[in-house]
Amino acid sequence: MIKKKIIGTENYPRLYIFKSNKHLYAQLIDDTKNHIIATSSTISPEIKNKHMIFRTCETAKMVGKQIAIKLKAKGLKQLIFDRGTNVYHGQVKALADAVREEGIYL
């Protein structure tokens, strides 16, 4: 089966999620310019200083909220969600729901 390519633009950046064994990373990417607009992760100072440093559903919600705040600061309200090879369940779902709660359309 061929996977459809997900491409983010300047008006609709791509929110890419990466999960390592210990941490969760989220990046807003403009694929037309090959530019990363904003990032947030469980190792960023805003999240690391507040709670646990490892990835849980609670820290995934904080990462989602943080990335949504950064997106709103850029003046954007919509994005394209790219979960990669991760199943839309657990931490990925918690992150997406936190982004939606901040008023961003996926």
Q: What pLDDT digit, counting tens, does each position of 11-57 carry?
A: 999 999 999 999 999 999 999 999 999 999 999 988 877 766 788 99
Q: How many helices (H) and strands (E) does the chain have?
A: 3, 4
The predicted structure's pLDDT at residue 69 = 95
Q: What pLDDT digit, counting tens, does each position of 47-70 carry?
A: 877 766 788 999 999 999 999 999
Element (H, E) at 36: strand 35-41
Residues 6+ apart with CB under 8 A from 3: none
Question: Do the Cβ atoms of 4 and 11 come closer than 8 Å?
Answer: no
**Domain 14-101, second-level architecture:** 2-Layer Sandwich (3.30)
Q: What is the DSSP letter of 56?
A: -
- Tell me which amino acid residue 11 is: N
Q: pTM score, two decimals?
A: 0.90
Domain segments of the chain as ranges: 14-101
The predicted structure's pLDDT at residue 3 = 60
The predicted structure's pLDDT at residue 1 = 55
